[in-house]
Chains A and B, each alone.
Chain A
Amino acid sequence: MSSFANPAGPRPGDVAGTLRLLAYLALSVVLIVLDHRGGWLAQARATAGVVVQPLWQLAGLPSRLGQTMREDAATRATLAEDNRRLRNELLVMGARQARLQVEADENARLRGLLGAAGRGRLDVQLAPILDIDLDPARQRLLLNAGASEGVRQGQSVIDAGGLLGQIIAVTPGTATVLLLTDLDHAVPVSVSRSGVRLVAYGIGRSDRLELRNIPVSSDVVVGDVVVTSGLGGRFPPGFPVGTILELRPDDSHAFLVGALEPAAQLDRGRDVLLLREQPRTPLRPAPAATGNADAVDAGAPVPPASAPPDDTQPAAPPAGAADGQPPAPQPQGRTP
């Protein structure tokens, strides 16, 4: 701790104080530059993450307690009502799932005819969001699950609506999610209607994403749904990213810029799903064109994959992806 006892008025101590100020300012600037430019401090952050983790847990406590109290105070009638509604939703979802199953089988058959690679299966893990406010200038979330629950860096994070982001840092009990909307984030996407491939960038606002460099001639219209393309291999293909709200020419008038509304509902204090992609099945030669579906190892839904034994989170049924995976992933993804 620096000490700075002083009587009032000009004094030799002024010079020392100013020097001290300059030293600390220089130190801060060095930290800022290293963190902003180099990303060298990621390791330091990860280490410090263990230290500040108790603080995060403590800050998230009131919200968790409130939720528990609300749940405990819920009346029987409310619970019964909720139960009925959820049962109905489950019925509807089951029916949809059955229809998707048919589509998936057909998709697998057609892929077999084309000789395309089967997709890796997906299995997911629930993780609660820790309800605390991080720096508002950055689009980040903190999950109340970490390395001890099997969370790994680089995992994709989704919710019922679509893609939320990816895990960028893991401590034993928490994990940091970089949201799609963060300035540092870019995700390769394709327009689900026409298959046009683009990149969606975060612009630091929670309700907008941006598509840049859309060729004027490309088949993209307002209202199109944009999904992950799977290029780059960081995100699995076929998860909704957003809906195109508007298209306008950029400054050069050679390309269009699109504004996207994110598909995922960013509502804190809920749960999100972490994707754990299972190793992709090795490529097989295309079977003879007999229309025999079971000859192909495709991404048809399978019974719920059981989570590893050390895993405390329930494993949900695997989410089926809905789009082809390009055979050769190119290294690409986040901007530095």
Chain B
Amino acid sequence: MNRRGRMWLLPVSVLIALLLGLLPLPQPVQGLRPYWLALVVAYWVIEEPERVGLGFAFLVGVLADLVSGALLGEQALRLVVMAFILQRFRAQLRFFPLAQQALAIGGLLLNDRVVAAAIHLLLGLPQLPWPYWLAPLVGMLLWAPLFLLFDAFRQGRRSR
């Protein structure tokens, strides 16, 4: 547990994740855009459970909805669901090897797509085309490098 208040990384990482979500991608690969914000929130929920919980996920989600012009509350709901599941399994997750952690995160991201599809279905909004279902795979592959990068920033003091 890093108790030395290196919390500048938290707002910065959220901001960068929001920007990466807005960056224009060419049409063919748009569906593959990983859900950066979910990865960042997942990292903080696992690493800083005292500071980061459901409320944080909710607020970040509302901000993301405002920024992307999406339905207000959609990403908030999705991130809260994800944060809750993570909190439940945090004890096990922390002792997984990184590859296994990435698999779990991939599963969570896939679940997130299902939740999003369900919201769209309930409200009669158009469903996203099929390439968007590949995004969790990209997110899964990004988990390990992201995790190591964040840890490097936070002095790599993880009590394993």
Fill in one digit per residue for B17-37: 1 if any A CB lies within 8 Å of its CB, else 0. 011011111000011010000
Could you tell me the distance between the alpha carbons of A58 and B15 in the complex, rounded to whole angstroms? Answer: 11
Are A32 and B72 in touch, CB under 8 angstroms?
A: yes
A132 and B22: CB pair below 8 A?
A: yes
Interface assignment of B109: CB less than 8 Å from any CB of chain A: no
Quote the shortest CB–CB distance from B94 to chain A (angstroms).
Answer: 10
Interface residues of B in 82-118 (CB under 8 A from A): 84, 87-88, 90-92
A24-B58, A138-B70, A183-B126 known; A3 and B50 CB under 8 Å? yes
Which of A4-12, A223-231, A246-254, A279-287 lies on the face that meets chain B? A4-12
Can you offer 28 A-B residue contacts whose CB atoms are under 8 A? A2-B55, A4-B87, A17-B88, A21-B81, A25-B81, A27-B58, A27-B73, A27-B76, A28-B58, A29-B73, A31-B62, A31-B72, A32-B72, A32-B77, A32-B119, A32-B123, A35-B72, A36-B71, A55-B18, A55-B67, A59-B23, A133-B22, A134-B22, A134-B69, A136-B31, A136-B132, A204-B125, A269-B24
Let me know if A193 is at the binding interface, CB within 8 A: no
| In the complex with contacts A4-B53, A21-B84, A45-B66, A63-B72 CB distance below 8 A | no
**Residues of B with C-beta under 8 A to A136:** 30-31, 128, 132
Residues of B within 8 A of A5 (CB): 49-50
List the A side residues contacting B47 at CB < 8 Å: none
Chain B neighbourhood of A268, CB < 8 A: 24
Interface set, chain A 12-35, CB cutoff 8 A to B = 17, 20-21, 24-25, 27-32, 34-35
Hey, what's the 0/1 contact readout for B35-74 against A, CB within 8 Å counting as 1? 0000000000000011111111110011100111111111
A52 beta carbon closer than 8 Å to chain B: yes
Q: CA separation between A136 and B135, bound complex, in Å? A: 13
Q: Is the CB of B72 within 8 A of A25?
A: no
Residues of A contacting B21 in the complex (Cβ-Cβ under 8 angstroms): 133
A29 touches B80 (CB 8 A): no
Can you name 7 extra interface pairs (CB under 8 A) apart from A6-B87, A49-B66, A135-B70? Answer: A2-B55, A5-B50, A45-B72, A55-B15, A55-B18, A133-B22, A133-B30
Collect the chain A residues with CB atoms within 8 Å of residue B18's CB: 55
**Proximity string of chain A (127-153) to chain B, C-beta cutoff 8 Å, 1 when within and 0 when not:** 000011111111010100000000000
Report the interface size for chain A: residues with CB under 8 A from the other chain. 54
The smallest C-beta distance from A89 to any residue of chain B, in angstroms, reads 27
Does A255 belong to the interface (CB within 8 Å)? no
Number of chain B interface residues as a range: 35 or more
Q: Is B120 an interface residue (CB 8 A)?
A: yes
Query: Which residue of A has the minimal Cβ distance to B89?
Result: A8
User: Contacts A30-B73, A55-B19, A135-B70; is A1 near B52 (CB within 8 Å)?
Assistant: yes
Chain A residue at smallest Cβ distance from B123: A36
Residue of B23, B74, B123, B128 near A62 (CB, 8 A) is B23
- B interface residue numbers (CB < 8 A to A): 15, 18-19, 21-25, 30-31, 33, 49-58, 61-63, 66-74, 76-77, 80-81, 84, 87-88, 90-92, 119-120, 123, 125-126, 128, 132
With beta carbons under 8 angstroms apart, the residue of B23, B54, B68, B69 that contacts A2 is B54
**Residue in A25, A132, A203 whose CB lies within 8 Å of B77:** A25
Bound complex: CA of A32 vs CA of B75, how far in Å?
A: 10
The reply to whether A52 and B66 form a contact with Cβ atoms under 8 Å apart is yes
Q: Given the complex, which residues of B lie within 8 Å of A6, measured CB to CB? A: 49, 87, 90-91
Query: Is the pair A132, B24 in contact by a Cβ cutoff of 8 Å?
Result: yes
Which residue of A is nearest B25, CB measured? A133
Please state if B68 and A134 are interface contacts (CB–CB under 8 Å).
Answer: yes
A3 close to B125 (CB less than 8 A): no
* 9 shortest interchain CB distances as A-B pairs: A31-B73, A204-B126, A8-B91, A28-B77, A59-B22, A135-B70, A2-B55, A2-B53, A32-B73
B53 near A3: Cβ-Cβ < 8 Å: yes
The reply to whether A133 and B73 contact each other, CB–CB distance below 8 Å, is no
Contact present for B22 and A35 (CB under 8 Å): no
CB of A34 within 8 A of CB of B72, answer yes
**Shortest CB–CB separation between residue B23 and chain A, in angstroms?**
6
**Complex CA distance for A176 and B57, rounded to whole angstroms:** 26
B66 & A20 in contact (Cβ 8 Å cutoff): no
List B contacts of A205 (CB < 8 A).
126
Q: Is A79 an interface residue, CB under 8 A from the partner?
A: no
- Nearest to B126 among chain A residues (CB) is A204
A41 at the interface (CB under 8 A from B): yes
Residue in B119, B126, B128 whose CB lies within 8 Å of A203: B126
- B23: which of A29, A35, A132, A204 is its contact (CB, 8 Å)? A132
